[in-house]
Protein backbone atom coordinates (compact mmCIF):
# COMPACT_ATOMS: atom_id res chain seq x y z
CA UNK A 1 0.00 0.00 0.00
CA UNK A 2 1.26 3.46 -0.92
CA UNK A 3 0.32 6.69 0.84
CA UNK A 4 0.83 9.72 -1.39
CA UNK A 5 -0.53 13.19 -2.14
CA UNK A 6 -3.81 13.45 -4.04
CA UNK A 7 -3.68 13.80 -7.81
CA UNK A 8 -6.60 14.78 -10.02
CA UNK A 9 -6.89 11.25 -11.43
CA UNK A 10 -7.69 10.01 -7.89
CA UNK A 11 -11.01 11.82 -7.62
CA UNK A 12 -13.09 9.06 -9.21
CA UNK A 13 -11.78 6.55 -6.67
CA UNK A 14 -12.29 8.91 -3.75
CA UNK A 15 -15.83 9.68 -4.85
CA UNK A 16 -16.71 5.97 -4.99
CA UNK A 17 -15.68 5.64 -1.33
CA UNK A 18 -17.14 9.02 -0.29
CA UNK A 19 -20.52 8.29 -1.85
CA UNK A 20 -20.87 4.88 -0.20
CA UNK A 21 -19.84 6.19 3.23
CA UNK A 22 -22.21 9.17 2.99
CA UNK A 23 -25.04 6.89 1.80
CA UNK A 24 -24.55 4.51 4.75
CA UNK A 25 -25.12 7.50 7.05
CA UNK A 26 -23.33 5.92 10.00
CA UNK A 27 -20.14 7.92 10.39
CA UNK A 28 -20.27 11.34 8.71
CA UNK A 29 -22.42 14.44 9.03
CA UNK A 30 -22.93 14.66 5.27
CA UNK A 31 -26.22 14.41 3.41
CA UNK A 32 -26.76 10.75 2.62
CA UNK A 33 -27.56 11.59 -0.99
CA UNK A 34 -24.82 14.22 -1.31
CA UNK A 35 -24.01 15.42 -4.83
CA UNK A 36 -20.61 14.77 -6.33
CA UNK A 37 -20.14 18.53 -6.70
CA UNK A 38 -20.68 19.08 -2.98
CA UNK A 39 -18.52 16.08 -2.08
CA UNK A 40 -15.69 17.49 -4.16
CA UNK A 41 -16.12 20.88 -2.53
CA UNK A 42 -15.87 19.32 0.93
CA UNK A 43 -12.90 17.09 0.18
CA UNK A 44 -10.88 19.25 -2.22
CA UNK A 45 -12.34 22.73 -1.87
CA UNK A 46 -10.05 24.23 0.76
CA UNK A 47 -6.88 25.13 -1.09
CA UNK A 48 -4.63 25.07 1.99
CA UNK A 49 -5.72 21.59 3.05
CA UNK A 50 -3.48 18.59 2.42
CA UNK A 51 -5.28 15.69 0.73
CA UNK A 52 -3.66 12.26 0.60
CA UNK A 53 -4.72 8.85 -0.66
CA UNK A 54 -3.89 5.24 0.12
CA UNK A 55 -3.49 3.24 -3.08
CA UNK A 56 -3.20 -0.45 -3.72
CA UNK A 57 -2.56 -1.85 -7.21
CA UNK A 58 -3.59 1.46 -8.74
CA UNK A 59 -6.87 1.62 -6.85
CA UNK A 60 -7.75 4.25 -4.23
CA UNK A 61 -8.61 2.39 -1.01
CA UNK A 62 -8.57 5.30 1.40
CA UNK A 63 -8.17 9.06 1.64
CA UNK A 64 -7.63 11.77 4.22
CA UNK A 65 -7.57 15.54 4.34
CA UNK A 66 -6.00 17.84 6.90
CA UNK A 67 -6.02 21.59 7.46
CA UNK A 68 -6.72 24.32 10.00
CA UNK A 69 -9.83 23.69 12.09
CA UNK A 70 -10.60 27.39 12.42
CA UNK A 71 -9.25 30.69 11.11
CA UNK A 72 -7.47 33.51 12.92
CA UNK A 73 -6.88 32.83 16.64
CA UNK A 74 -7.95 29.19 16.12
CA UNK A 75 -5.74 28.46 13.12
CA UNK A 76 -2.95 26.71 15.06
CA UNK A 77 -5.14 23.63 15.61
CA UNK A 78 -5.56 21.18 12.74
CA UNK A 79 -8.54 19.05 11.89
CA UNK A 80 -8.63 15.98 9.69
CA UNK A 81 -11.08 13.60 8.06
CA UNK A 82 -10.54 10.01 6.94
CA UNK A 83 -12.34 7.60 4.64
CA UNK A 84 -11.45 3.98 3.95
CA UNK A 85 -13.19 1.83 1.38
CA UNK A 86 -15.74 -0.35 3.22
CA UNK A 87 -14.26 -3.35 1.37
CA UNK A 88 -10.82 -2.59 2.82
CA UNK A 89 -11.62 -2.01 6.48
CA UNK A 90 -9.51 -3.66 9.18
CA UNK A 91 -6.32 -3.67 7.13
CA UNK A 92 -4.55 -0.79 8.85
CA UNK A 93 -5.30 1.73 6.11
CA UNK A 94 -6.92 4.21 8.49
CA UNK A 95 -3.96 3.97 10.82
CA UNK A 96 -1.46 4.49 7.99
CA UNK A 97 -3.39 7.54 6.75
CA UNK A 98 -3.65 8.93 10.28
CA UNK A 99 0.06 8.55 10.95
CA UNK A 100 0.86 10.39 7.72
CA UNK A 101 -1.66 13.12 8.52
CA UNK A 102 -0.24 13.60 12.02
CA UNK A 103 3.22 13.88 10.48
CA UNK A 104 2.02 16.49 7.99
CA UNK A 105 0.30 18.50 10.73
CA UNK A 106 3.48 18.42 12.80
CA UNK A 107 5.60 19.49 9.82
CA UNK A 108 3.25 22.40 9.20
CA UNK A 109 3.60 23.55 12.81
CA UNK A 110 0.08 22.87 14.06
CA UNK A 111 0.13 22.60 17.84
CA UNK A 112 -2.69 20.06 18.06
CA UNK A 113 -5.26 18.12 16.08
CA UNK A 114 -8.97 18.15 16.77
CA UNK A 115 -11.83 16.01 15.47
CA UNK A 116 -15.13 17.84 15.74
CA UNK A 117 -17.62 15.04 15.20
CA UNK A 118 -16.61 11.43 15.81
CA UNK A 119 -19.73 9.26 15.98
CA UNK A 120 -19.59 7.43 19.30
CA UNK A 121 -20.79 4.17 17.78
CA UNK A 122 -17.92 4.24 15.27
CA UNK A 123 -16.00 2.08 17.74
CA UNK A 124 -13.20 1.14 15.35
CA UNK A 125 -12.38 4.80 14.68
CA UNK A 126 -12.69 5.88 18.32
CA UNK A 127 -10.35 3.07 19.40
CA UNK A 128 -7.83 3.93 16.69
CA UNK A 129 -7.78 7.62 17.62
CA UNK A 130 -7.29 6.71 21.27
CA UNK A 131 -4.44 4.37 20.35
CA UNK A 132 -2.87 7.27 18.48
CA UNK A 133 -3.05 9.48 21.57
CA UNK A 134 -6.32 11.34 21.08
CA UNK A 135 -8.55 11.91 24.09
CA UNK A 136 -12.28 12.56 24.19
CA UNK A 137 -12.70 16.20 25.23
CA UNK A 138 -16.45 15.80 25.45
CA UNK A 139 -19.44 14.14 23.82
CA UNK A 140 -22.34 16.14 22.42
CA UNK A 141 -25.38 14.05 23.37
CA UNK A 142 -27.75 12.73 20.72
CA UNK A 143 -26.16 14.90 18.04
CA UNK A 144 -26.04 12.20 15.36
CA UNK A 145 -29.11 10.44 13.93
CA UNK A 146 -27.79 6.93 13.34
CA UNK A 147 -29.88 4.80 10.96
CA UNK A 148 -29.69 1.74 13.25
CA UNK A 149 -28.86 3.03 16.73
CA UNK A 150 -31.03 6.15 16.84
CA UNK A 151 -29.63 9.40 18.19
CA UNK A 152 -26.07 8.86 19.42
CA UNK A 153 -23.36 11.20 20.67
CA UNK A 154 -20.62 12.98 18.75
CA UNK A 155 -17.21 13.00 20.37
CA UNK A 156 -14.89 15.99 20.17
CA UNK A 157 -11.39 14.48 20.23
CA UNK A 158 -8.00 16.13 20.65
CA UNK A 159 -4.29 15.38 20.55
CA UNK A 160 -1.42 17.77 21.24
CA UNK A 161 1.43 17.66 18.73
CA UNK A 162 5.12 17.96 19.45
CA UNK A 163 5.62 21.23 17.66
CA UNK A 164 6.90 24.57 18.78
CA UNK A 165 4.33 26.84 17.22
CA UNK A 166 6.42 29.94 17.65
CA UNK A 167 9.50 28.18 16.33
CA UNK A 168 7.57 26.95 13.33
CA UNK A 169 6.30 30.46 12.66
CA UNK A 170 9.86 31.75 12.57
CA UNK A 171 10.58 29.27 9.83
CA UNK A 172 7.62 30.56 7.85
CA UNK A 173 5.27 27.72 8.75
Q: Of the candidates 4, 32, 46, 124, which one interacts with a copy of itself according to CB under 8 A?
A: 32
Binding mask 45-84 for a copy of itself (x = CB under 8 A): ------------------------xxxxxxxxx-------
Position 129 contacts a copy of itself (CB under 8 A)? no
Q: Is 116 in the site for a copy of itself (CB under 8 A)?
A: yes
Identified binder of a copy of itself from the candidate list 4, 12, 16, 31, rule CB under 8 A: 31
Nearest to 30 by CA among 94, 119, 92, 93: 119
CA distance 171 to 173: 6
Give how far Cα 166 sits from Cα of 10, 59, 113, 163, 171, Å.
35, 40, 17, 9, 9
Q: Which of 61, 80, 154, 161 binds a copy of itself (CB under 8 A)?
A: 154
Amino acid sequence: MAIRPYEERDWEGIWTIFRSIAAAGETYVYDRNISEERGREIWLGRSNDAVIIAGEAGVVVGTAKMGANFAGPGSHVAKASFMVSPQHEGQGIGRALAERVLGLATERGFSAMQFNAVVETNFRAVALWQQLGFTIVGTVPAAFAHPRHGDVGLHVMHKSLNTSRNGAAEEGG
